[in-house]
Amino acid sequence: MRRLRNLVLATLAVLLITPTILIAAYRFVDPPITPLMLIRLAEGEPIEKAWRDLDRISPHLGRAVIAAEDNRFCEHAGYDLIALSGQLDRWLSGERPRGASTITMQTAKNLFLWPDRDPARKLIEAWLTWQIELLWPKARILEVYLNVVEFGPGVYGAEAAARRFFARPASELTPMQAARLAVVLPNPREYSPSAPSPYLAAHARVIGRRVGQLGPLLDCVPAR
């Protein structure tokens, strides 16, 4: 029993410490692959990806993703308490709450976790989120997110998405192309940035306008 207890404790320690070590390493080393990519590979789906540093990705994309996914990304510490409070109010009033996941939380999920939405995953995601915020600057969080997020079936990261959907490098994305990429993120396997539905095209125009309204809330996106 003592050996079993020690084994369980050692396993738990490894599970707790390993992600922290990887987070510290990924501050300087680009993540080579994600769990979702491995899942898609196991399902027989090829992977398109090409890492690009943030200064080689159009700032239009970073701004559009913040406008679409997480308006307060540059200001919060990983958790948007204002958005969470709003969703709690919706739930208490009997309405269906929407997601309040931040870009940092999505980065944690993409780097370390499985895609299903379940309480266990959300708890682990929250545990990893504050560590990423503590160890990485905002620019690094945005850089990693834009390089690992899924933009379409088998398409990961800004460079692969820009070339697949718009036949150009990520550095040359226009504001509208960036907005179209940003609005597919909630469901990249169903939406197409290059052939958007009327709803998606209208939503992209809304995101384009919102970028112009956020002002200082976009200050953490480096200008080239």
Number of domains in the chain: 1
Q: What is the pLDDT of residue 83?
A: 60
CATH classification at residue 142: 1.10.3810.10
What is the arithmetic mean of pLDDT over 113-121?
Answer: 83
Dump pLDDT digits (tens) for 25-78.
Answer: 999 999 999 999 999 999 999 999 999 999 999 999 999 999 999 999 999 988
- Is the model's pLDDT at 174 over the cut of 70? yes
Secondary structure class of 137 (helix, strand, coil): coil
By DSSP bridging, strand 155-156 and strand 48-49 are parallel
C-alpha distances (whole Å) from 201 to each of 23, 66, 71, 107, 195 are 36, 18, 20, 26, 9
DSSP state letter for 75:
T
Give domain status of residue 51, yes or no.
Answer: yes
By DSSP bridging, strand 150-152 and strand 155-156 are antiparallel
Give domain status of residue 32, yes or no.
Answer: yes
* Cβ neighbours for 113, distance < 8 A, ≥ 6 positions apart: 35, 121, 124, 125, 128
The domain containing residue 156 runs over which residues?
Answer: 2-218
Give domain status of residue 84, yes or no.
Answer: yes
Give domain status of residue 223, yes or no.
Answer: no
Strand order in the sheet with 150-152: 48-49, 155-156, 150-152
DSSP string, 147-167: HHSEEETTEESHHHHHHHHHS
Give domain status of residue 45, yes or no.
Answer: yes
Calpha distance 56→98 (Å, rounded) = 33
Give domain status of residue 205, yes or no.
Answer: yes
Q: What is the pLDDT of residue 121?
A: 85
- Is the model's pLDDT at 93 over the cut of 70? no
Give domain status of residue 224, yes or no.
Answer: no
HSE (side-chain half, CA atoms, 13 Å) at 3: 0
Give domain status of residue 177, yes or no.
Answer: yes
